[in-house]
Structure 1
């Protein structure tokens, strides 16, 4: 999955923390040597529970292309039901990765030419001591396992920093547990 610029699109619902998750990954990526880190959150009239999208570009070199992501290398989905509501699969690059928070097995997601990784982040986050629906830290663990772009240790440190006032241990645990429990399917 390595190339000049890695483009990642995050789909969640208002209040789930898709923007915060992308921000944490951006900070961790910069800390481990990515010199090009560009995060583009989108804000509109979204309300709690409405679909939300944010974008992240990563590169070992500076990024000068600030155009929107049209064909991402990866899509991270914080709520599997969004796949049925919003068209997110069709524009992923061939050979790309779909990372999904879902209770369903990886075999439930068969998309031609895409790699798929799944974890029941909602359940794992509750096991880690977070309230139901708080999945941003957990999905970061799934992202780490599936992408291999930023190691889990760097992401856990970024999570602890971001949530230093709000359950840093529980958020870090959610990421670590999800990392361990993420299942990556065959292409």
Structure 2
């Protein structure tokens, strides 16, 4: 079972990102969960979202405390190193929306070579392709490059189901571009 924890801020689409990824997994014939974690926070407050994806039914319904992968859609949250890295499994992957090189982020986060860091400037990609800073979908392209958890066509289908028409097409372009531009180190 693949377990993913997302970090972002209220209003940035963490929950939408988890929902789209879960829908793509279901369209690919997998089992999936998507759930947010937030309380009375307002727009701009740190929030988490979670995904579980497996080839067999998922029987647990609790928080994710030891994720296989972490997605950070808001790079300003990287200053909360302990929160971001909490519970990450050995050999885990971190997907970050950042214009910095993976090696620089590795130094800043103080993580060893046993953790893969995947990066793309999802903010710039979203602004250029979607015409708004919706980094949640662009970051999904980086995730697919790091972990081919679902086929790109199923992710595109899920995006178009969630946001039909022009906005969906723009988001699919952002995902594909982020996939191509993703770097690891």
Fold shared per TM-score above 0.5:
yes
Q: Which residue of 2 aligns with 1:99?
A: 95
How many pairs align?
179
Q: Which residue of 1 aligns with 2:77?
A: 82
Structure 1 counterpart SS, 2:125: helix
Cα distance in 1 for residues equivalent to 2:33 and 2:134: 24
Structure 2 unaligned spans of 5+: none
Paired residues for 1:113-124 under 5 Å: 113-124=114-125
Given that 2:18 and 2:35 are in contact with CA atoms closer than 8 Å, whether structure 1 keeps it comes out as no
TM-score (norm 2): 0.92
Q: Which residue of 2 aligns with 1:172?
A: 172
Cα distance in 1 for residues equivalent to 2:128 and 2:7: 23
Paired residues for 1:39-50 under 5 Å: 39-50=34-45
Q: CA RMSD in A?
A: 1.3
Structure number with the higher helix fraction is: 2
Q: Which residue of 1 aligns with 2:15?
A: 19
Q: Tell me the CA shift for residue 166 of structure 1.
A: 6.5
Moved over 4 A (4+): none
TM-score (norm 1): 0.91
Q: Tell me the CA shift for residue 93 of structure 1.
A: 0.2
Cα distance in 1 for residues equivalent to 2:62 and 2:10: 24
Superposed CA deviations along residues 161-187 of structure 1, whole A, max 9, x for unmatched, are 1111671111111111111111122xx
